[in-house]
Structure 1
Amino acid sequence: MRELINAFEIKKGDFILIAADFRKFLRHKIRQNFDIKTIQNDIILALKNAVGTNGTLAFQTFNWDFCKGTIFDIKNTPSMTGSVGNLALKMSEFIRTKHPIYSFCVYGKFKDDLKKLNNTDAFGDDSPFAFFHQKNAKMIVLDLELNHSFTFVHYAEQRNGVSYRFIKNFTAPYTDENGVSKIKTYSMFVRKESVLTELAPLEAIFINKNAMKINKFYESEAKIINLSRAYEIIADDIKHNKARNLHKWGGVARVYNAPYERVA
């Protein structure tokens, strides 16, 4: 796994958020006669060892079924954003944050701080996204476009008051870590109809302003993003460029009429 850690440029004590499609990397290892489950376990172990006990490792473990009224069980509802995150959810040294739509599976120094968060607003100032911003976390995006991975942008959009999104409430059954089920309401900052997230222009801007670098290895591409710098760039685009590098109008609304974002 050394090649993966080198490409991610992880150091001891780092605070890392992972959004990854590991399929290309898995295929490379499978060609070397490795077993998939073994590779996935080794990925998690390598990342844990890389950040160390004074670092923090977080996987996106999002699930949008709560938006449809489906029960969210913090212990049993799977992530829709990757098999490696789902494997981490089963490990005792990881915790899961509480929001039923945008949750994170976390190991390391800040896991107890993140576990204590009880945000009902997905992107509010008491959310994990705000915590990542405040603690200057580094996000690693593997083999995904920003459109399908960089959910942090919606925290910046909400904090800076964009007009093409609005806060929407969703209510459904929620089962907590003690097995207690209640009807609960949580919110998120959703797109207006016919508005599409369009983050492709951000990539060159992030690179030019030293908020992101790209490392290539094997068939894969790792984007390494400094979230604090990225936030400043996004906020500036909202304030001085009408967020033109973040969205576009006139697209065809998705089947679910844009109540939530599907990211991988």
Structure 2
Amino acid sequence: MMEMNYIMSYGAAAPSVRLLRKYGLLDILLPFQSAYLSEQMKGGSSDRHLMLMKLLSNLDRLLSADRPCHSSLWLALLAFHSTLVIYPQDTLVIRAFAAVLYFGTWETTVKFLREEVGAEVPFAPETMGPSRTKLDCLKEQTSHLASLVNSSVDILTCPHDLEQSLARFSEPLQFSGVVVASNNDRKKLSAVFEGLASDLHSYDGRRGMRGIDYSSLKLGDLAEVRFVLGKVIMDTMYDKLPCESTEDEGAAADVAGGSLPPLSALF
């Protein structure tokens, strides 16, 4: 776990995943993600438009060697993406889930969704096409997504659940029996999504500041992890940032206020 945290937490998650896949190590360390990439990249296609790689690239843009995140952030991101692979969702539901993590209240989330006019970004197989969800029905579907994400944490912590999830792929991997996270990690991840699967009207995850508190993020502060997780998902769903591909890994922009460039710029 310590080695994986070095790989994923310091601004080089996307290029590291590509490198691990190239040498066959991703099959052992992150078998679900490896199977997903293999299935989506059949025929030698690029990973440029894959949701997983966009999520990781957008995470990398917020981190650097001197501003890492706690492992609960990237684990939560993997759990979120795994959920969408197994249970594709309406894009508006995904946006609402991200917004409530980012803003901290359902009231602010609804206000944001009413005002924003960003174009929908479809992903296959994670999204269900053009959004058909109405705002009036959104709360229940968002809570349901949160409960699914919380359940998907078991793919990262339970060998049995991971092995079952691999069976859905057309060419499942030979499972090594290794999971990336512990039961203690499972408790931490459940706490990240706590409250989102019940009464969203009473949910309050506000932080009292606008920017990222990197000291709190490194320590795994729940409010900070939720905030950054929501930001990464929103950046991905609104396609505000380009995603580097295996063939085009230009240097990423400097982390805001950081003194060191992201590690992804070194790959």
State TM-score, norm by structure 2. 0.27
Structure with the bigger percentage of helix: 2
Q: TM-score, normalised by structure 1?
A: 0.27
Tell me which of the two structures has the higher relative contact order, counting C-alpha pairs closer than 8 angstroms and 6 or more residues apart.
2
